[in-house]
Amino acid sequence: MQDHSLLITLIVFLSAAVISVPLFKKIGLGSVVGYLIGGAVIGPWGIGLVTDVENILHLSEFGVVLLLFLIGLELKPQRLWVLRRPVFGLGGLQVVLSALIFFGILSLIGLERSQTIVISISISLSSTAFALQVLGEKNELNTAHGRSAFAVLLFQDLAVIPIMAILPFLGASLETEGAQGFSQKMFPAIGSIVGVVLAGRFLARPLFRLVASTGNHEIFTALSLLIVVGVSLLMDQVGLSMALGSFLGGVILADSEYRHELESNLEPFKGLLLGLFFLAVGMSINLGEVLKDPILVILFALGLMIVKSLVLYALGRISKHSEESSLNLAVTISQGGEFAFVILGVGVSLSILPRERADLVIAVVTLSMGLTPILSIVKDKFVESFFKRRTEQTADSIEEQNRVIIAGFGRFGQIIARMLFVHKIGFTALEGNPEQVNLARRFGYKIYYGDASKLSLLRSAGAEHADLFVLAIQDIDVSVKVAELIKKHFPNLTVIARARNREHVFKLMEAGVKIIRRDTFASALELAGETLSHLGFMDSEVEQKVRKFRAHDELTLKGQYQIRNDEKEFINFSKNAMRQLEAAFEADRQEKEGKAAG
């Protein structure tokens, strides 16, 4: 019967996820909000299909644990050392400033000092799982605001250690704990961290090597889970964050030869347990507390997010992020986090907080998670357009006119610029991404910030008198818009364009551009030649085959352009072109064999 109950609970979870997540992703609120709403519906304060929330939440925390372990695998110790300033600088200031502001606000409300401290600290922390999931879905983990958000979240995970050690001093045990109690908590914690580092260096790798030599994939997966769960539980036993322990284990194994195998083994477990975690968070919302005064709860959640957003935006600007990047940082981690549940739970167990007040704060924190995607949508639709209008008005004034104009100063445009520079050929570089402009200027390039699709900027750059216009913009729509603008207003200006793919080529050809080179075609063709060389072909043969392939592909491209709007004809033409190329190379091979035989 108990087995049936477990299966029914599993069906309930899967049904809630399958129904709510696609629905909320469809309306643009993201998968995390879907999990939260689904959890609230099936939880004890919803229709009551699942009631054992505390145990489920504790189990699902391993989703966060696996997430942090996989992130740790991406960060070698050397890279982590490079991040020390944003982690302890940006992260430390965010926690301290947010907690102080919340402390001041709650003190004015009239809460007891110990309660004020616990609540202020708990809501100053953001959600690692939520923020990293959202950043991952948007492919923003490697952006400036994504890296800063990760640094802040990492500091918060580290900050949980002293926070959990200090909490007992606020409770009834203040008189009995003293310095001795503090040392009893901290020394085992430090010893455990040292032990994990040493075990990772000297025990884990030989163990992985031994298991890998058996060729048993399932046992390797079991060992992976054993390492993560074991380290996490060890940290939990000494009063530290399980997530911090798993992150530390990941960092230690980041330069291991088994890193990629570990990632592929643990990724499915991470996804499932993270989904379960967000469902459990949704189930933990005390709707009774919310329904007592829903307006107050919403106002508290908005107030929490506004305070943290203002602090994060200010810190972003101080850290020399652009306005847009600072805004993205502020929105991404403005919510409360899962550590609030832990800290508030300890506060209740130590008789610092009454259960009702803790439930109210948990409801506020959870609601702030749900509001984050909505805030992100508002930011995307309204606030970012405001910044774009401002940047249009504040484009750099161009002080020079050169023979060559380069639009787009990313990795592609920079190579062309370097070639011109070493031959002392003057060029005017235009770039519409302020972060890219700042980065290029740090390396000594003279570059102008502005949108190359604006006629006024092209005139200012001297397009009427230039000889060449190098169109190196990556965005296809912007690239085509610039090409059309040049052909309309500067028909005598020669355009040399880069294209990302065949579709981009066709659009540029429609705009009248004659000289087009695809991003990866030349490098891929060069690598194909290297492959043939290593397979035993002579250099002269390789050169001839590569040249022939290039000419045939360029001819095929022109033919495809003529029939690009007829999909059936396009496919047939492409297949026929491949057969012709095969036949040409086969004829070359037979001719070579005939000469050798003769």
Any domain includes 398? no
Count of domains in the chain? 2
- Counting Cβ atoms within 10 Å, is residue 369 exposed (0-12), middle (13-18) or buried (19+)? buried
Verify that 358 and 473 share a domain, yes or no: no
Any domain includes 132? yes
- Distance CA(482)–CA(475), nearest Å, equals 11
Per-residue HEC secondary structure of 174-240 comes to HHHHHHHHHHHHHHHHHHHHHHHHHHHHHHHHHHHHHHHHHCCHHHHHHHHHHHHHHHHHHHHHCCC
Of all helices (H) and strands (E), which one includes residue 9? helix 2-26
Angle between helices 113-124 and 355-378 (to 10 degrees): 30
Verify that 159 and 96 share a domain, yes or no: yes
Q: Select the more confidently predicted residue: 102 or 593.
A: 102
**Residue ranges making up the domain that contains 39:** 1-171+182-386
- Distance CA(46)–CA(36), nearest Å, equals 12
Taking only the tens place, the pLDDT of each residue in 219-237 is 777 777 777 777 777 777 7
Could you tell me the pLDDT band of residue 307, with boundaries at 50, 70 and 90? very high
Phi, psi of 518, rounded to the nearest 5 degrees? -80, 145
Per-residue b or e along 442-473, where b marks 16 or more CB atoms closer than 10 Å to that residue's CB: eeebebbbbbbbbeebbebbebeebebbbbbb
Any domain includes 411? yes
Contact assessment for residue 145 and residue 325, using Cβ atoms and an 8 Å cutoff? yes
Tell me the CATH number at 209.
1.20.1530.20
Structure tokens at 283: 């189930």
Question: Of the candidates 386, 418, 435, which is a domain's last residue?
Answer: 386
Verify that 309 and 443 share a domain, yes or no: no
Average pLDDT, the chain: 78
Q: What share of the chain is helix, strand, coil (3-state, %, to 5)?
A: 75, 5, 20
Residues 6+ apart with CB under 8 A from 491: none
Mean pLDDT of 194-216: 74
Residue 469 DSSP label: E
Question: Of the candidates 337, 357, 386, which is a domain's last residue?
Answer: 386
Place of tokens 């306005």: 323
pLDDT at 424: 84
Mean pLDDT of 166-180: 54
Verify that 497 and 364 share a domain, yes or no: no
Contact assessment for residue 292 and residue 355, using Cβ atoms and an 8 Å cutoff? no
Verify that 311 and 426 share a domain, yes or no: no
Verify that 356 and 215 share a domain, yes or no: yes
In 417-572, beta strands by DSSP E:
427-431, 447-449, 468-471, 494-499, 515-518
Any domain includes 394? no
Could you tell me the pLDDT band of residue 308, with boundaries at 50, 70 and 90? very high
Mean pLDDT of 515-533: 85
Verify that 87 and 212 share a domain, yes or no: yes
pLDDT at 176: 46
Any domain includes 397? no
Taking only the tens place, the pLDDT of each residue in 455-511 is 888 888 888 888 899 999 988 888 999 999 999 899 889 999 998 888 888 889 888
pLDDT at 247: 72
pLDDT at 168: 65
Q: Select the more confidently predicted residue: 189 or 321.
A: 321
pLDDT at 383: 61
Could you tell me the pLDDT band of residue 10, with boundaries at 50, 70 and 90? confident
Which of 187, 186, 193, 277 is closest to 234 using CA atoms? 193
Any domain includes 165? yes
Poorest-pLDDT segment among 51-60, 149-158, 464-473, 488-497 = 51-60
pLDDT at 544: 87
- Distance CA(529)–CA(542), nearest Å, equals 6
Tell me the CATH number at 459.
3.40.50.720
Of all helices (H) and strands (E), which one includes residue 561? helix 539-562
Any domain includes 485? yes
Verify that 318 and 421 share a domain, yes or no: no
Question: Of the candidates 335, 352, 386, which is a domain's last residue?
Answer: 386
Say whether pLDDT at 563 is over 60: yes
pLDDT at 29: 66
Verify that 149 and 39 share a domain, yes or no: yes
- Distance CA(2)–CA(360), nearest Å, equals 33
Any domain includes 395? no
Verify that 377 and 434 share a domain, yes or no: no
Contact assessment for residue 151 and residue 312, using Cβ atoms and an 8 Å cutoff? no
Q: What is the pTM of this model?
A: 0.56
Say whether pLDDT at 2 is over 60: no
Structure tokens at 244: 């911090």
Contact assessment for residue 270 and residue 51, using Cβ atoms and an 8 Å cutoff? no
Verify that 85 and 145 share a domain, yes or no: yes
Give 406-426 as a DSSP string. EE--SHHHHHHHHHHHHTT--
Q: 401 by DSSP, 3-state: which? A: coil
Verify that 9 and 54 share a domain, yes or no: yes
- Distance CA(289)–CA(301), nearest Å, equals 14
